[in-house]
Each structure stands twice: as C-alpha cells, then as structure tokens.
Structure 1
Amino acid sequence: MKFRKIIARFQADNIELAEEVICHIFFSFNLKGVICEVPIPEPDEGFGTRTLNTPEHNSIIGYLPDTDDSDLMISQIKDRLAGLSDINVQVNVLSERVDEKDWAHAWKEYFNVTRITDKILVKPEWKEYTPAPGEIIIHIDPGMAFGTGTHPTTSMCLELLEEYVQPGKTLLDVGCGSGILMIGAAKLGVSAMTGIDVDPMAVDITRQNLQKNDISLDRVKLGAVTLDKTPATKYDLICANIIAQVIVSIMPDIAARLAQDGTAILSGIIEERVPDIYAALDAENLECVKKHTRQEWVALVVCRKN
C-alpha cells in the first residue's frame, strides 16, 4: 500500500507552540506516524549514543493512505496550516508518495534508550541495554502511536507517576498512545488500569506494549473511545497527556471520574495555555498542587479543593 508523506516545515519564534498546533492539526486529520523534527535534548551520557542531529528544518511529518481523497485532504491541511500565520507561524507544506515499509520504520532513528529518572528508563526493543539492580525498564515499540518518553510532556508524566503512584491504586490514562504511562504505572505498583484513545491503532499498540512488558491484561481495560463515552468510574490516578485545548474541553469528565482523594496528572500543556487550564480546574472545584515545567512545556498535578 502507498502512503502520502506530509512534511510541514515551519518557522516560528515559539517553536513549542508551533509544534503543538501543527501536531494538533495533523491529529485532527488522523495522520499517522507523526514525527517532530525539532531540536531536542540529547540522551544522558551512557543512555544512548549521541546521534541526534540538529534538523536542517523545523518540521512536523505525518502519513496518510494514498487514496482518491488524498489530494483533497492535503489541500485542507494546507489551508489549516496557512491560518497559523495569525500566530506568527509560517508553514511550507510538502508531500511525497512512499511505500508502507518506508514509513512504518522511519521514526526509529529518533528513538534511543532514555533515562527518565534515577529509577525509570525507556528502551526501544531494537536497542541493547543491561539494567542495573532496581531499575525499571519500560520496553516500548511506539509503532504509529505517539509516546516514546523522549518528549518532555511524556517524561514529566513518568516522573510524576513515580512520585504519586501508590501500590494497589487504580489508573485511568486518557489518550494512552503507545501505552508508555500505563506500563510505567503498572511497574510502579498500580493495580487496575483503564486506557482509552480515540485512535483504535493506538489502543492496539498499547495492548501489544503491555504484553511485551509482561503486564497481565486481566488487570487492564482498553477502549477506542472518548472520555465522555466511558463509565463514570472513580480512579485514584488520572493521566491526560494530550494538549491544553483538549484537556480544557474534557475537564468536567475528568472531574467526574477522579476519586475524592485522587490525583490527576495533566500534561501536553504549553506555558501560554496554563491560565486556561487553571480556569477549567476552578470551574470543577479542582486545583493545581504542583507545577512541573520543562522547555516551556508544563505538567500539572491536580487534586480536589479541600
């Protein structure tokens, strides 16, 4: 099967903001295998080779099946991206036809063994690493889903999970992607888990990655569904590593599923959107008890107000 590779090269004063909004547009058109070619920190010494080159262009890359509708969809994507000039993001869109085998493995060169904390490391299955005693290794194949641990939003979530997970607690992961947060939570001691994503492929990849990490599916519920279509079960921990716009829109559904003494970890937020999140929290009688920031990305720890 042929695919169309969509390359959005961009210039912007705020690279993080541009990255967020372009990715959001790509996801809204259901593009797969989205890759962000922007400057990112190198892996720590000893946890992957220092082979991450600075990209020649800031680019977001995604793929869609090459069908009769592809040209129309690409035209619509270009129109959406052209509108970003209103926020000083200039985008040039390129496209090319590729074979499925070429894009299915394209992202692998960007993914190394990554140390998240003193205790947690993320390892792609094609990389070698011998763990030290006490280290938690998350074996992951992100496939066509987002979530490798290298992005600040994901690494901050894992750091906060290490801090807030208590053995025997329950977890809801909204937008489970590759399943990386569920795997980390399970290895930290969470018992029952639910993971949802609007993309059925992400749910399937999550299931595969849980099995690769020897996590019994008997303790897991997975679904390709939006949060408002899930039962209003109460959870001790809720993770939502999405984007600020979506988090704001689903805040009532998050609040309805958060246990009275529960904790929510919200990430995928850029600093400029934090006031919007705070306003949405306040409307649901929730409050931020900890703010974690890295490279203009923000993760918030949220609880009910006393």
Structure 2
Amino acid sequence: MNYIEADLKLEPDFTEIIMAELGEASYESFVETEDGLLAYIQEGDFDQQKLDDITAKYQDLTTIAVTWKSLEKKNWNEEWEKSYEPIEVGDQIRVRATFHEPDSAFKHDLLIQPKMSFGTGHHETTWLVMNEQLSLPHNGLSIMDVGCGTGILSVLAAKLGATSLLGFDIDEWAVENTVENFEMNELSLETEVFQGTIDKVQENKIFGGILANINRNILLSEIPKYIQHLQSGGWLVTSGFYETDQADIEQCALQNSLKKLRSNTRNQWACVVFEKI
C-alpha cells in the first residue's frame, strides 16, 4: 500500500492540535519539521476534502498551507523511528525505544517499540495522564486502560504497583503493539488485552483505577459505562480533549456519581481526574 504525505506549513503552537485532528482522521505517523508537520496516511484512506476541512477550522486563528503527494511504498515505521526521541515526564518518567540507552537518573524507565500511532508519549494528553498517574494510588489495584494504544499508560501503572491490567483498543495494530510492549517491559503481573470496546468487558470486572485517554465524544458516551466497572473510591483519569471541552466532561462525570479531584492542561489539551463517590 502506498502512502500519502501531507506537508503542512503552520505555526508551532498549532502542531499538536492539528496532529491530533489528523490522527482521528486515520493519519498514522507524523514528523515535525522546521516549517510545520509532515503527516502520513495510507493512500486508500486519504480524503482531500477531510484534510481541507480540518485545516479550515483553524484558518481564523493561524495560517496553514497544505500540499500533498503520493509516495512509493517503503518502511515508514523505520523512517519514523529515526526521528523518535525519548520522552521525559518531570524527573521520574522516561519513555524510550530499545535503541536508546537507559538513564539511571529517572525512577521509571519505560520501553516502547515506536510505530505509527499515538500513545508513544509525545502527544500532550499522554504526557498529562502519565503525570497524573504519579500522584494516584496504584499499588494493589486492578487498572483498566481504555483505548490503550501502545499500552504505555498500562506499563507505567504496572511500575507503580498495579496487580492486574486490562487494556483494549478498536485498532488491531494497537492491541498487537500493546502486547509487544508488555513483553518488552517484562511485566510480571496479570494482563489482558483485546480488540474491541468497553462493551466487551465482563460485567463482573471491577477496577480500582481507569485510564481513559480517548476523545471528547467517546468519553461523553462511555463514562456511564466506565463507572459500572469502577469500585467505590476508585479513580478515573480522563484526557484526549481540548480545554474548551473540559466543562462538558466534568458535567457528564458529575451526573454519574463522580467527584472531581483535580485537572491540568498543557498546550490547550486538558486532563481531569475524578473519584467515584
């Protein structure tokens, strides 16, 4: 399958937002450039009108110039890996690929096989969730990872003392990569990963903590379902939405017996932590 390369000239402040928008539109990998962003999508999934619609949403705020071209088939994972750099969350977490040397200065060393998707730690929302995990209880808890992506949040949960993990994603590649990353990090706890949604989680499965780094619409639709699997006093971390959507998420949570503990933002993205009353 050939790929389409979209070349977007834009201001740095809008890179992460556009990257997230394109990610939801089936773009698989991204490379930041001096002028903006290169985005890659399989030729069969490319829709020029959709690309134009995404950039048009921001034209009143900034100038975005877009060109695209078809590329011959090649190993884009390999190309992406060349530009992958470790991610640091404060002075405690470092997410690295196997081709990076470990750094003993960090308490938590997370290994990842970087491929063409979100969840590598580079996206703002992944950083936000990991940052919140550091101050949440994990020891002895079962953790559910909604839309697990690469499974990096689950890996951190394991390192923070979780006793079992359940992760799921609608993307087959994400499931395979999560399993791969679990094995790479030599997790010794009980794990389960499947392709699907919250509807496939057994009714009797109850968790002490739930990680939900998805998007606004899915959260608003599924928070009531998450609560059914969350023990009293358990925590729910939500992210994957903009600051402008935070009020809607908080209102939905309030209507479903959740109490807001705190929130945080990073470059227009938001993360809110709740507790089940």
Q: TM-score, normalised by structure 2?
A: 0.87
* 1:27 alignment partner in structure 2: 24
Answer whether contact 1:23 1:60 (CA < 8 A) is retained.
no
2:68 aligned to which of 88, 91, 94:
94
Q: Are residues 8 and 273 of structure 1, via their aligned partners in 2, closer, same or farther at CA, if it must alter by over 3 Å? A: farther
1:229 equivalent to 2:229? Answer no
Answer whether contact 1:25 1:77 (CA < 8 A) is retained.
no
* 1:291 alignment partner in structure 2: 263
* 1:192 alignment partner in structure 2: 164
Secondary structure at 2:57 match in 1: helix
Map residues 8-157 of structure 1 onto 2, 5 A cutoff.
9=8, 11=10, 15=14, 19-20=16-17, 23-28=20-25, 30-32=26-28, 34-35=29-30, 37=32, 55-59=33-37, 61-64=39-42, 66=43, 69=44, 73-78=46-51, 80-81=53-54, 84=57, 90=64, 92-101=66-75, 103-132=76-105, 135-157=107-129
CA distance in 1 between partners of 2:217 and 2:163 (Å): 30
Answer whether contact 1:144 1:201 (CA < 8 A) is retained.
no
Tell me the alpha carbon deviations over residues 114-161 of structure 1, each in whole angstroms, 9 at most, x when there is no partner: 3213332112111123424x7221011121231222333212211221
Unpaired stretches in structure 1, ≥5 consecutive residues: 38-54
CA distance in 2 between partners of 1:287 and 1:130 (Å): 38
Q: Are residues 95 and 74 of structure 1, via their aligned partners in 2, closer, same or farther at CA, if it must alter by over 3 Å? A: farther
CA distance in 2 between partners of 1:299 and 1:82 (Å): 24
CA distance in 2 between partners of 1:269 and 1:209 (Å): 25
Answer whether contact 1:237 1:258 (CA < 8 A) is retained.
yes
CA distance in 2 between partners of 1:77 and 1:254 (Å): 31
Q: How many residues align?
A: 275
Secondary structure at 1:100 match in 2: coil
Aligned CA RMSD, in angstroms, stands at: 2.6
Q: Are residues 298 and 23 of structure 1, via their aligned partners in 2, closer, same or farther at CA, if it must alter by over 3 Å? A: closer
* 1:173 alignment partner in structure 2: 145
Secondary structure at 1:131 match in 2: coil
How much does 1:171 deviate?
0.5
CA distance in 1 between partners of 2:104 and 2:140 (Å): 25
Amino acid at match of 2:227: A
Unpaired stretches in structure 2, ≥5 consecutive residues: none
Secondary structure at 1:281 match in 2: helix
Answer whether contact 2:5 2:39 (CA < 8 A) is retained.
yes
* 1:44 alignment partner in structure 2: none
Answer whether contact 2:169 2:175 (CA < 8 A) is retained.
yes
Identity %: 24
Answer whether contact 2:12 2:36 (CA < 8 A) is retained.
no
Answer whether contact 2:19 2:30 (CA < 8 A) is retained.
no
Relative to structure 2, which stretch is displaced further, 142-151 or 162-171?
A: 142-151
Secondary structure at 1:260 match in 2: strand
Answer whether contact 2:142 2:165 (CA < 8 A) is retained.
yes
